[in-house]
Amino acid sequence: MLRNGLEPWHLLIVAIVIIVLFGSKKLPDTARALGKSMRILKSEAKAMKDESGTEAAQGQ
């Protein structure tokens, strides 16, 4: 039955549904907020990695 999980037309249908649900005015704001959240997450993960590396160096 299902050869592949997602075919190109599945993605097209999902994109159309998202545009209909959220509207074209909200999509740029949503994308901007998602990008900002990803930058914050990346910087926090880097800070945690640097912090744990510093603690390990001090312990030796």
Contacts of 22 (CB under 8 A, 6+ apart): 30
* 48 domain-assigned: yes
User: How far apart, in whole angstroms, are the C-alpha atoms of residue 60 and residue 50?
Assistant: 16
Tell which wins on pLDDT, 47 or 4: 47
- Range of 60's domain? 23-60
* 28 domain-assigned: yes
CB 31 within 8 A of CB 24: no
The SS3 of residue 8 is helix
- Residue 59: which pLDDT band, with cuts at 50, 70 and 90? low
User: How many separate domains does the chain show?
Assistant: 1
For 7-58, what is each residue's pLDDT tens digit? 788 889 998 898 888 787 888 888 899 999 999 999 999 999 988 877 666 6
* 11 domain-assigned: no
Tokens found for residue 44: 């926090």
pLDDT at site 1: 46
* 14 domain-assigned: no
